[in-house]
Structures are given as C-alpha cells and as structure tokens.
C-alpha cells in the first residue's frame, strides 16, 4: 500500500483507514473516508511493512530507509513511538484533530507534549489518556517550566530510552516541636555553636548535630538551621538573624537565600530538612519526627533550584537514579521570585521526578 | 597544664613532651626539651581536658571554647582532627619538622595536604604514612590537580564528615575484535545507521545497538562510535570521519572532541566504553568483552573532564555514591591539552575517587 506525503501529513485512502485506524489507532480519519497519518506514524507503518512506500511531493517513492533519512520525520520521535508501540500502547501525535480524548485535545496547546499515550486497550476514539509524553535527546536542555504532568522520553546517544515521570506535588509532614526562646549561640565561620543547649532543640526538633556523643554536649547548627531558629526567636545570636544570613550569603551567595526559603517552607509544612550532601542534594527530609531516638527513614531528596532553571537530562537521570537507589523520592524545589506582597508561600513549586516503566 | 600561643604554634614545657608527644603523638619536640603543638593539636588537648588553657599573646587564658572561637584554629580542621583521633589514629599537621616519616616530609610541600595520618599503632616517630588528608568544607571548590594520592575529608554544612580517597590509576582491559573494513553507514542528525552490518560489529565489538531484536537488523551507532570506527577505516561514511566529527561538534561543541579522545583511548586500552547516561556519566566500561552474548558487569563509570576542572565536593559525593550503589568504580578522565607532537596518549589522567572509611 502507498501513501503520499503532503506538507506535514501523509495521506492514505479508505482501505488504510480501516486497516490502520479502525484496527490499530494510527492516524485520524478525514472527510471523504481517507486517513491522515503523521510522518512518525507513517514511518512506523513503513518499518512494519504495512506500508510499502510513501510518495514524496516530487513523486519519488520512499521506503522506510529513505523516509527515515529524509527531513520528514525525527529519528528520536520515531524511536520513542516505536518503543511505546512495542510495549503495547496506542498513541497519537499531539496534534489538532488526531484524538477524540478531551485530555489529548487539551494537550495540543502544550508544546512540550509530543505524544498522548492511551491506556493499554484504549485508543484515540476513547476518552482516556495514560501519559503525556515529551521526546528529548539526552543532549537537549529542558526548561523546568515544561515539566509536571509530563513523561519525558529521553533518547540517549546510543538510542536507548528512559522515561521520567514529572509531577507537581504537595509536600507535608507532622513534625513539630515546642522550643524554648532566646537560647544563646556563637557564630563561627561556617556554623553556629550552642554551648549549653536545651535538650529539646536536638532531641525533639532535630536541629543541629552534637559535637560528640556525650550527654549534654555542644550542638553544632548549620547556618541554615541557625538563620531559621534566630528568625523564629529560638536563638539569640549577636547581630540577630541578619548576622547569620549575612554569613550564609558570604559563603554561598544568593543560593543561601533560596535554600533558606525552602528550608523554612519545609519546616512550616511539618517536615524536618537535614543536609542532603551525601546524596548530592540540598536536603533529605523526614516527614514525621517525634524524637531523634526514633527517626524513621528520610523520604525525600530535595534539590533547590531557581524557577527559571533548565535541566540537562543527564543530570536528571543521575539525581533520579541515586534517589531510587536509596529508596527516596527526588523532588525539585523550584523557587520563583516573591510576590509583590512578599509572600513566598505559594511561590515554591515542588516537582517530583521518578523513573517510569510504561 | 597551660601552654602559650606564639604565632602559629603553641608552646608547652617538658612535661607536655612526655605526656602528649611520647605517649600520644601530639606535636613535635624542639631543642631544650619543650614541645611545639599546632593550634589544631592544642585545640584537641583543650577539648579533652588535657590542657587547661592556652595563653594568648596578650596574656589572656583561652579555654576550649575561647580557643575554637579565636582565629587561631580552623573549626573544620578541628572536626577532622578530632574524628581521626576518635577513630584511633595518630596524625600530624603537614608542617616542616612535625614528623619523622619520609612520606610526611615529602608531603609538606603539597599545599593540598593538611594532615598526615599514621597507620593505627604508629606515630610521628615511625616511617609510615597511611593517609595524606586534605580538609575541605562542602562548599569549597577543589581543583582536579590537587587530587590523587590524597584523601579528601569533606565537612558538610551540618558538620558530618565524608572521606573520599583519590588515586591516579591505570585502566586496561582485554577486549578486542577483528573488524571488517569499509562498512557503509548513513549519517542521520544524531546517530549513524548501518543498514546491512556484518554481525561482528555488534556481536564481537559491541559497537552500537540494534534497532530491534530481530536477527540481521539495522545497527544504530552513536556519533562517538561512528567517528572512531570511521577513523579506523571500519566505517565508510559520506564525508569520512570528519563529517561525523563535525556533526558531533554541532550537537555538543568541544566536549565532543574531549569525549572522542577518551573513547579512543579506552578502546585502545582494551576496554569497551558504552554510554553512561543512565548513571549521569559519560561512559560505563567493560574490560573483557569477547561477545555480547556473554557480557559481564561493567566495572567503571567514566566522567570526562577538562584537565583544569574544579570539583565541587557535592558533585563528587553524588558521583561516588551513585557508582558505589551500582557496584562500579568512579573514574574521572582528565583531558589535558595535547603535547606538541600531537600525542594524546599520556595526556589523559585517570583519577579514581572512592568512599573511604578510615
């Protein structure tokens, strides 16, 4: 069977409609009984041998090889399309008119979505969408604003695929501790020492780390912990919270402010953030701390980023794989500029990225 | 017992020499029977209660707290010194005159070394050094040229320590395959296709990846594999190897050249490099490939860097932990400029970084 490339669609006749659309969900029917295929769909039919050739606008017949080498179809889009078909899914390009599903029609306006994938057993004539998929090569940069409600299909340089599910999520926990006020602390160059701290600060609040295992020992606070506690009135330090924040900015610039906003937001939401350094992240978090003697497993790894951040798929893969390996979920805290009224609360987006096997 | 701060040493009397040096390896004896301590050693003796106070140059007596808050001693050096003492080691600051060990004397001129650590049971009067240790805070940048024959003691923002052993190493393997010549290949935008490849290319050489699992299928080569094989005469591609290299530079700039040099060097050393994308690295390598049907576990993760690279301890921690989690060794390929004669061979340094528990 032949079909004809015309602009960015491949047109086939009525038999194609029965054979490809009705039975397998390729393309979409148009008036007069014909079928329009996206180039990637036509490439797959050529690859399967269901189409013999696609005639180009100059009349030459292209087989699979010639079609794939032409500019009509993206090789990485083809690899992803083929892989999802191999996994038993029907899918449509995210184009006007290709799908009856309302979620698919809504996705047409989102340039990050290349394919809408139906649940197994469903197709473009149903009203369900399992995944919105964006295709990227390993080397492309992906803006954070594209992510959320999107499965990134990353094609690596050796043509292997990885699927990363990206979702906006909420984070919350039940940790809280009654803390004293005006505990004296001494600022050193990159931390703060509590020489005679009330036990609750560490034991209940899980702030800081003892200098030693001895009872009643000195507690070391990180600059983030110290800045937060000074603002809350728990800590009394020379120069106040501002002195701690200034020191933080000296050692890590504006990143310190961004991390402090996320730290404070996590604490307010009932999570205990501790350093994620060993995992290459900003924080690991504990959702339900009642006492340090009874600490559970930390559930999330948090990386703090500017809202305008652009991801490299390679870095994403590294973070997500590491988090998976230590049984935690990778969450990016995207910090946007504060609102005019200074409220930061709703300006941090929590973006979860996990490995997906469709 | 008191001692006196004088410049960058703390002087103590003859009793101190017996009590601290002879029995525990603190400081070094000087003419006249006295003992000189580095400030970090004096801080530890204060912390233990073995010294009561150190008198400052203005005559004020400093206890542990006052001494640690003074500029005389670095808090992160103290944390590392204390931790190594807690683990049962004797150690000396890397300073002229502090140690009799020849390796310690040699380390004095290396500014990256802060402490020399003796094997358990040995001390500064012996001639053995177990570790050369450099102390850095999580936020410091570490030049690649500092690393190798060095244990990095990284102090994170919450004052926890991680030890990273860095060593220059050799890499080699036994993989080799007899390959045909002039195999035709077609360059696409980001890969190269072999439409009718001899089986040995994939089966024995482990070059590329089949488009499908079908026998005699199309093989996809990455641009790196294709550039290497074209240079070797195995591949015949329009425009020659240069056309492939040009395409590689288009998609990833000069990084492509750096990676190609490392790829070729690994192949010449008998390793098979495949993409390390899923691990956030440039390559994973197989040392002994005879056939793809009998692939072992890949042993190394390779990240390609410019020789002038500067590491952030956080990124190092991420790489090393991930490699450990997947039972591989993290190796950085540091690519220096080529020699005048164009030989690249000895200009790639292989730097292994592993987690160490002293």
- Give the pLDDT confidence of B297-324 residue by residue, as tens digits: 999 999 999 999 999 999 999 999 999 9
Mean pLDDT of B218-241: 96
Q: Is A325 on the interface with B (CB under 8 A)?
A: yes
pLDDT of residue A243: 97
Tens digits of per-residue pLDDT, A4-49? 999 999 999 889 999 999 999 999 999 888 999 999 999 999 999 9
For the cut 80, the answer to whether the pLDDT of residue B183 exceeds it is: yes
Q: Is A328 a catalytic residue?
A: yes
pLDDT of residue B342: 54
CA dihedral B67, B70, B74, B79 (to 10 degrees): 40
Mean pLDDT of A212-228: 87
Q: Is A340 on the interface with B (CB under 8 A)?
A: no
* Beta carbons within 8 Å of B65's beta carbon, 6+ residues apart: A186, A193, A195
CB within 8 Å of chain B, chain A residues 5-64: none
Structure ipTM: 0.89
Report chain A's mean pLDDT, rounded to a whole number.
93
Q: Is B315 on the interface with A (CB under 8 A)?
A: yes
Compute the C-alpha angle B296/B297/B300, nearest 5°.
130
Distance between CA A166 and CA A352 in Å, rounded? Answer: 6
For the cut 60, the answer to whether the pLDDT of residue A342 exceeds it is: no
Report chain B's mean pLDDT, rounded to a whole number.
93
Q: Do A159 and B224 touch (CB under 8 A)?
A: no
A339 or A261, which is more confident: A261
Longest dimension (CA), chain A: 86
* pLDDT-based confidence at residue A215 (cuts at 50, 70, 90): low
Mean pLDDT of B128-153: 96
Q: Do B190 and A317 touch (CB under 8 A)?
A: no
How many angstroms separate the Cα of A312 from the Cα of each of A136, A305, A318? 10, 13, 10
Q: Mutation test of the interface with chain A: which of B78, B278, B305, B316, choosing the one with the most A Cβ atoms within 10 A?
A: B278
The answer to whether the CB of A310 falls within 8 A of the CB of A144 is yes
Q: Mutation test of the interface with chain B: which of A161, A162, A190, choosing the one with the most B Cβ atoms within 10 A?
A: A190
Using CB atoms, which residue from B251, B275, B321 is nearest to A278?
A: B321
3-state secondary structure of A352: strand
Using CB atoms, which residue from A156, A252, A317 is nearest to B139?
A: A252
| Alpha helices per DSSP H over chain B | 14-16, 23-24, 39-48, 64-69, 75-86, 102-107, 199-203, 223-231, 240-252, 254-268, 313-325
Q: Is B328 a catalytic residue?
A: yes
Q: Roughly what angle, to the nearest 10 degrees, separates helices A223-231 and A254-268?
A: 60
Q: Is A207 a catalytic residue?
A: no
Q: Do A318 and B162 touch (CB under 8 A)?
A: no
For the cut 70, the answer to whether the pLDDT of residue B344 exceeds it is: no
How many beta-carbon pairs below 8 A join chains A and B? 140
pLDDT > 90: percent of chain B = 87
Tokens in use for B31? 């003419």
Tokens in use for A95? 């184009």
pLDDT of residue A341: 57
pLDDT of residue A296: 87
For the cut 90, the answer to whether the pLDDT of residue A348 exceeds it is: yes
For the cut 50, the answer to whether the pLDDT of residue A344 exceeds it is: no
pLDDT of residue B216: 65
For the cut 70, the answer to whether the pLDDT of residue B252 exceeds it is: yes
CB within 8 Å of chain B, chain A residues 158-217: 158-160, 162, 186, 188-191, 193, 195, 208-209, 211
Give the active site residue among B81, B90, B118, B286: B286
3-state secondary structure of A147: coil
């Amino acid at each position: 069977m032949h079909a004809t490339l015309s602009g960015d669609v491949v047109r086939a006749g009525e038999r194609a409609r029965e054979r490809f659309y009705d039975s397998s969900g390729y393309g979409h029917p148009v008036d007069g009984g014909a079928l329009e295929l996206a180039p990637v769909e036509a490439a797959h039919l050529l690859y399967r041998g269901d189409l013999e050739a696609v005639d180009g606008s100059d009349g030459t017949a292209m087989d699979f090889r010639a079609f794939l080498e032409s500019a009509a179809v993206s090789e990485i889009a083809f690899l992803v399309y083929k892989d999802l078909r191999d996994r038993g899914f029907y899918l449509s390009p995210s184009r006007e008119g290709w799908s009856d599903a309302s979620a698919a029609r809504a996705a047409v306006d989102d340039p990050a979505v290349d394919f809408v994938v139906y649940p197994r057993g469903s197709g473009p004539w149903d009203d369900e969408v399992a995944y919105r998929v964006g295709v990227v090569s390993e080397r492309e940069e992906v803006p954070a604003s594209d992510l959320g409600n999107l499965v990134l299909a990353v094609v690596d340089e050796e043509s292997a695929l990885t699927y990363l599910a990206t979702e906006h999520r909420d984070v919350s926990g039940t940790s809280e501790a009654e803390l004293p006020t005006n505990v004296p602390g001494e600022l050193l160059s990159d931390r703060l020492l509590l020489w005679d701290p009330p036990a609750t600060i560490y034991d209940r609040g899980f702030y800081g780390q003892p200098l030693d295992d001895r009872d009643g020992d000195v507690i070391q606070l990180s600059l983030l912990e110290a800045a937060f506690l000074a603002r809350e009135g728990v800590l009394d330090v020379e120069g106040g919270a501002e002195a701690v924040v200034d020191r933080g900015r000296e050692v890590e610039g504006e990143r310190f402010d961004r991390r402090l906003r996320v730290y404070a937001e996590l604490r307010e939401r009932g999570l205990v953030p501790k350093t994620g350094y060993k995992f290459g992240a900003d924080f690991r978090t504990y959702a339900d701390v009642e006492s340090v003697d009874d600490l559970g497993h930390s559930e999330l790894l948090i990386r703090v980023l500017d809202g305008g951040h652009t991801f490299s798929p390679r870095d994403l893969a590294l973070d997500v794989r590491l988090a998976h390996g230590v049984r935690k979920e990778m969450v990016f805290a995207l910090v946007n500029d504060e609102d005019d009224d200074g409220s930061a609360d709703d300006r941090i987006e929590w973006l979860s990225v996990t490995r997906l096997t469709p």
